[in-house]
Amino acid sequence: MDQNLRIKRKKRIRKKIFGTADKPRLTVYRSSKHIYAQIIDDVEQRTILSASSVEKDIKSLPAFENKIKLAKHIGDQLGRRAIERGIKTIVFDRNGYMYHGRIKAMADGAREAGLVF
């Protein structure tokens, strides 16, 4: 039931949020163990950047205290990669999830890295 409600929220939100080449969309997906983030250009329908907790360079780091700190680190990594590519402003798509916990931590990490949204 909860998953169905999240998908309904996701569809409703996606009608309003659209990423362009100048201001791409940052979307987040979370599972029970991992978190994934992508920066997407909806005009060309392609992923510009991505970061997740299953990448080798993230897994090689010492274990994080909890998943919230890991999500903040993922946001920081994604923000740094975006700044290197010349992306400074984005549109944040929470993908139907509530804006708290790991989703908020990931967004805060991206903001601290220099992304504006």
The pLDDT tens digits for 28-80 are 999 999 999 999 999 999 999 999 999 998 888 888 889 999 999 999 999 99
Partner residues linked to 41 by β-bridges: 46
CATH of 2-113, one of 3.30.70.380, 3.50.50.60, 3.40.50.970, 3.30.420.100: 3.30.420.100
Confidence check: pLDDT of 97 > 70 = yes
Which 3 state secondary structure label does DSSP give 67? helix
pLDDT in tens, 8-33: 999 998 888 888 889 999 999 999 99
Assess contact for 73 and 53: CB atoms under 8 A: no
Beta bridge partners of 47: 40
Length of the chain: 117
pLDDT at 1: 60
